Structure 1
Amino acid sequence: MEAKQLNIGDNVKKFRELKGFTREQMADYLNLSVSAYGNIERNKTDLTVSRIQQIAEILEVDLAQTLNFDASQVFNITHNEVIQGMHSKVENHNHPDEYKEKYIKMMENEIARLKKLAGEA
């Protein structure tokens, strides 16, 4: 039986998009170039636990959520706050419906992708 591959970069990208952060903001928060951050989202970087924890803190999600995207936790994200230790202010989003619509669209795309992979589409 083949081991399940973790797609941490995919999960990070989903949470980043739901939070309304840009790749540039994430790169800045992590003191990385945009290219280096992009490699994280494309699963081309071997991440340390401390780096995953840092990303989880920025995205205000549990470490476990970055390892396994859990849709039931998505709607706990209600707004962006200033990241502890960061000096730049992040735009405040208080629109749960906006997250819901983004999430529904993201899940529809994921279902279509999985159907295509399974040969059902």
Structure 2
Amino acid sequence: MKIGKNITQVRESKGYSAQFVADGINMKLEDYLKIEQDILDITLNQLNHLAAILSCSPIYLLEYKESGGSIYNHFDNAGNNGTNIQIQGVDQKEIRTAYKELYREELERIPKLERLLRDHNIEFDI
């Protein structure tokens, strides 16, 4: 199985340099680049270290497909370490902006509902 392209795409999506990742798995840059180019096979131990550096699971690296603007959620429940969710292809700033707008709209909705209840003489507890 060739996973070099997957590793490259995930690394680039994280904004990491090849040198940063190579240092993280204790490899020479030229050897690491051979993994990304599918010239040198990766060991399971290296794959596990690489996945940890890229904040994903080894399976995610094996099955990664370019998102093309879609949302990919990957859940990795490893022991009691919790859940790791990776979202590819979505601008996090846009998500935060949309969430803030939704939250603001919900806050404005409460007084509107209270006014509507009062206008129709409907009792309610605050």
- Following superposition, the deviation at residue 11 of structure 1 comes to 0.7
CA distance in structure 1 between the aligned counterparts of 2:7 and 2:30, rounded to whole angstroms? 15
Q: Which residue of 2 aligns with 1:96?
A: 92
1:25 has 2:35 as partner: no
Question: Equivalents in 2 of 1:58, 1:77: separation in Å?
Answer: 16
Structure 1 residues 64, 28: CA separation in 2 closer, same or farther (over 3 Å shift)? same
How many equivalent residue pairs?
77
Structure with more contact order per residue of length (Cα contacts < 8 Å, sep ≥ 6)? 1
Which consecutive unaligned segments of at least 5 residues does structure 2 have?
A: 75-84, 95-126
Counterpart position of 1:46: 41
Quick one: distance in 2 between partners of 1:47 and 1:27?
Answer: 12
Give the TM-score normalised by structure 2: 0.53
Matched, 1:67 2:62: yes
State the match for 2:53 in structure 1: 58
Deviations 1:23-52 (A, max 9, x none): 111111111111011001001111111111
Greater Rg over alpha carbons, structure? 2
Q: Distance in 2 between matches of 1:22 and 1:77?
A: 20
Displacement over 3 Å in runs of 4+: none
Q: What's the Cα RMSD here? A: 2.4
Report the Cα offset of residue 68 of structure 1: 1.2
Displacement after TM superposition at 1:77 (Å): 4.7
Long gaps (5+) in structure 1 = 1-5, 79-94, 99-121
Q: Larger strand proportion, structure 1 or 2?
A: 2
**Equivalent residue for 1:9?**
4
